[in-house]
Amino acid sequence: MDAVGAEPLVRTAELRITRIRRPPGLRIEGVVDVHAHRHLSGALEVIRSVDGDLQLELSGLEFLDLGGLRMLIGFAGTRNPGHHVELTGLAPHLRNVIALVGWDETPGLLLGDRSVN
């Protein structure tokens, strides 16, 4: 995974979001709670117009609240037909929540094989 540029799109005391080049997308690290939603939303807007599939690399997440998870799932669901958003590095409990509420059936969403134990 190649990071684009040295500076992250978002850097706060608890959250760091960096754009990645190959595959295109974002690396999201730290804490996504209600205080970070605007930062996450802004970072997703930066990559919204990227043509083709995107990857959201989540192995560095320490916490992701339901609102942040809903934002990621919603983002995947708004991609152009045939373009996917793959969530990689997903913690098993988050994968379970996604499956439990049926979000794993969201058009445009792929759950990557790499998960964090």
The CATH T-level fold of domain 2-111 is Transcription Regulator spoIIAA (3.30.750)
What DSSP string describes 32-64? ESGGGHHHHHHHHHHHTT--S-EEEEEEEEEEE
Q: What pLDDT was estimated at residue 113?
A: 74
| pTM of the predicted model as reported, rounded to 2 decimal places | 0.90
Chain segment 23-42, per-residue pLDDT in tens: 999 999 999 999 999 999 99
- Decide: helix, strand or coil at residue 21: strand
What DSSP string describes 81-115? TT--EEEESB-HHHHHHHHHTTGGG-TTEEE-S-B
